[in-house]
């Protein structure tokens, strides 16, 4: 048995590979790459120049090169396609599973997409990919694969095994055999184990399970991911409006969905409104970041206006200005902590309507405890450093306690409201929640100061 060791991409290896490409030492290149995992080869291509990557992809077998393309990120794959001829792209996509092939075609402009399909030699693969292209990308139909194994409920075990052998040629992983009727409607599923253990003349209808979790083609990919996570499914069949079996989604597809959604949420939480990549144009990167930066600027200007409005009070008690950063920073931190937890719950669909009141009670309870601890600590520090100025210490500590409560409430309610109106709740964890809490924190701080210090 050959033990596969984790690949380590070293500077020396890259230099030797680049030298092999420069000298056109094809035997060395093929020998060193074809023994590696496709994910490792994709990582190697990320380190090479585009011309070097194209040379390698053209040198390797089509099946291996197509597997490498699937592992590349979308932007790198798009740049690779720009360097390849249409017949080359077609031959690579034909080596892929239907769902991966459809994803790759979606990276191309519409006109070039049609040209590539025209070069397909496998009519069945062409029809499968064209069918997948009719679905929205972010739906079950858009991420499903047409490669699966099905059996008619009227077949016996011998017929089924023969069909499995025939159908399995194009299926990489077999999790279950889906059972259909004469109208191709999904009836259930049967495991390979049951088929193997059954006698030859046993009918499939006598051994299949009629309880099967299926998803419709129009279901959002996030909902599919949640169903597979909740019920611990390795694969889930996809049906159309007539309950006809049209495809399947495997756990590999869902891992890609989870990664994409995580990247989108991270970008949203940092104030980037669109999904962008380092290879995108300066204009696109600017448009994605500018809106939320402008919100931050507007919030800062409003904050400056607040401070200017209370300028007279600040002149009387200049020490008030020293604690403005403390109030705003604490409010921002508490708001982000609260909103992050809610966004996580919404992403996993665990924040249901009937638990919102309980969630608020828990969040506010935590805020009260944290607020009291922080307020007492700050009160002691202020009194110590400002010569027993108890009234001033009360202003800072009461304002801090109020800001912790208010920011916690805002951080909890804002993502829920955004989710209800169809806006990505992850946006609430970025500049929006921070800016809102800064303004509220300043308002509370100065109102408490006016009330207690009579300025």
Q: How far apart are CA 310 and CA 304, in angstroms?
A: 10
Which CATH number, 1.10.357.20, 3.40.190.10, 3.50.50.60, 2.60.40.420, labels domain 282-453?
1.10.357.20
Residues of the chain within CATH 1.10.357.20 domain(s) are: 282-453
The confidence score (pLDDT) of residue 356 equals: 64
In the numeric block, which tokens belong to residue 168?
A: 């399995």
Q: Which fold has domain 11-139?
A: MgtE N-terminal fold (1.25.60)
The order of strands in the sheet holding 245-250 is 215-216, 235-239, 245-250
In the numeric block, which tokens belong to residue 51?
A: 């011309």
The confidence score (pLDDT) of residue 264 equals: 64
- Is the model's pTM score more than 0.95? no
The confidence score (pLDDT) of residue 350 equals: 53
Sign of the alpha-carbon dihedral angle for 250, 255, 256, 261? positive
Q: How far apart are CA 334 and CA 324, in angstroms?
A: 16
CATH hierarchy code of domain 150-251: 3.10.580.10
In the numeric block, which tokens belong to residue 448?
A: 């408490």
Length of the chain: 455
Of 127, 135, 63, 80, which is closest to residue 103 (Cα–Cα)? 135
Distance in angstroms between the alpha carbons of the first and the last residue of the chain: 82
In the numeric block, which tokens belong to residue 28?
A: 């060395």
Q: How far apart are CA 398 and CA 402, in angstroms?
A: 6
The backbone region for 24, taken as left when phi is positive above 0, alpha when psi lies in -120 to 50, beta otherwise, is left
Residues of the chain within CATH 1.25.60.10 domain(s) are: 11-139
Q: How far apart are CA 432 and CA 441, in angstroms?
A: 14
Q: How far apart are CA 430 and CA 332, in angstroms?
A: 10
- Please list, in sequence order, all residues whose beta carbon lies within 8 angstroms of the beta carbon of residue 412, skipping any fewer than 6 positions away: 338, 339, 342, 359, 360, 363
The confidence score (pLDDT) of residue 81 equals: 94
How buried is 78 (Cβ within 10 angstroms: 0-12 exposed, 13-18 middle, 19+ buried)? middle
CA 189 to chain centre: 30
pLDDT in tens, 149-186: 999 999 999 999 999 998 888 787 888 899 999 999 99
Q: Which residues of the chain have pLDDT under 70?
A: 1-9, 261-282, 284-285, 288-289, 292, 313-317, 344-356, 388, 424, 426-430, 455
Residues of the chain within CATH 3.10.580.10 domain(s) are: 150-251
Q: How far apart are CA 447 and CA 455, in angstroms?
A: 10
The confidence score (pLDDT) of residue 275 equals: 56
Of 398, 431, 155, which is closest to residue 268 (Cα–Cα)? 431
Strands 235-239 and 215-216: parallel
């Amino acid at each position: 048995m050959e033990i596969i060791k984790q690949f380590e991409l070293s500077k020396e290896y890259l230099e030797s590979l680049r030298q092999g490409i420069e000298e056109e030492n094809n035997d060395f290149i093929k020998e060193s790459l074809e023994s590696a995992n496709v994910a490792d080869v994709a990582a190697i291509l990320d380190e090479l120049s585009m011309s070097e990557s194209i040379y390698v992809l053209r040198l390797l077998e089509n099946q291996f090169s197509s597997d490498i393309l699937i592992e590349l990120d979308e932007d790198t794959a798009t740049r690779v396609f720009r360097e390849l001829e249409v017949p080359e792209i077609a031959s690579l996509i034909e080596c892929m599973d239907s769902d991966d092939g459809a994803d790759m075609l979606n990276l191309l402009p519409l006109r070039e997409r049609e040209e590539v399909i025209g070069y397909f030699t496998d009519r069945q693969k062409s029809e499968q990919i064209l069918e997948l292209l009719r679905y929205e990308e972010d739906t079950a139909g858009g991420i499903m694969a047409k490669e699966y194994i099905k059996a008619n409920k009227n077949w016996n075990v011998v017929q089924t095994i023969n069909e499995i052998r025939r159908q399995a040629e194009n299926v990489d992983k077999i999790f279950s055999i889906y059972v259909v009727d004469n109208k191709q409607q999904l009836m259930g599923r049967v495991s390979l184990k049951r088929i193997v253990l059954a006698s030859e003349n046993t009918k499939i209808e006598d051994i299949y399970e009629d309880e099967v979790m299926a998803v419709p083609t129009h279901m959002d990919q996030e909902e599919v991911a949640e169903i597979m996570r909740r019920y611990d499914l390795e694969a889930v069949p996809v049906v159309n409006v007539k309950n006809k079996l049209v495809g399947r989604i495997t756990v590999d597809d869902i891992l890609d969905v989870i990664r994409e959604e995580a990247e989108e949420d991270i970008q949203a939480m940092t104030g980037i409104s669109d999904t962008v990549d380092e290879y995108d144009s300066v204009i696109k990167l600017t448009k994605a970041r500018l809106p939320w930066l402008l919100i931050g600027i507007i919030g800062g200007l409003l904050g400056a206006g607040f401070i200017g409005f209370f300028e007279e009070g600040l002149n009387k008690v200049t020490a008030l200005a020293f604690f403005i950063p403390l109030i705003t920073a604490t409010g921002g931190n508490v708001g982000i902590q609260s909103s992050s937890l809610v966004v996580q719950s919404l992403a996993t669909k665990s924040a249901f309507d009937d638990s919102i009141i309980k969630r608020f009670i828990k969040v506010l309870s935590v805020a009260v405890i944290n607020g009291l601890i922080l307020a007492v600590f700050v009160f002691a520090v202020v009194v110590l450093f400002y010569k027993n100025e108890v009234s001033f210490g009360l202003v800072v500590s009461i304002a801090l306690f109020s800001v912790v409560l208010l920011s916690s409430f805002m951080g909890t309610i804002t993502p829920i409201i955004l989710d209800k109106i169809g806006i990505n709740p992850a946006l609430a964890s970025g500049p929006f929640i921070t800016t809102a809490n800064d303004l509220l924190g300043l308002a509370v701080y100065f109102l408490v100061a006016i009330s207690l210090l009579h300025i």
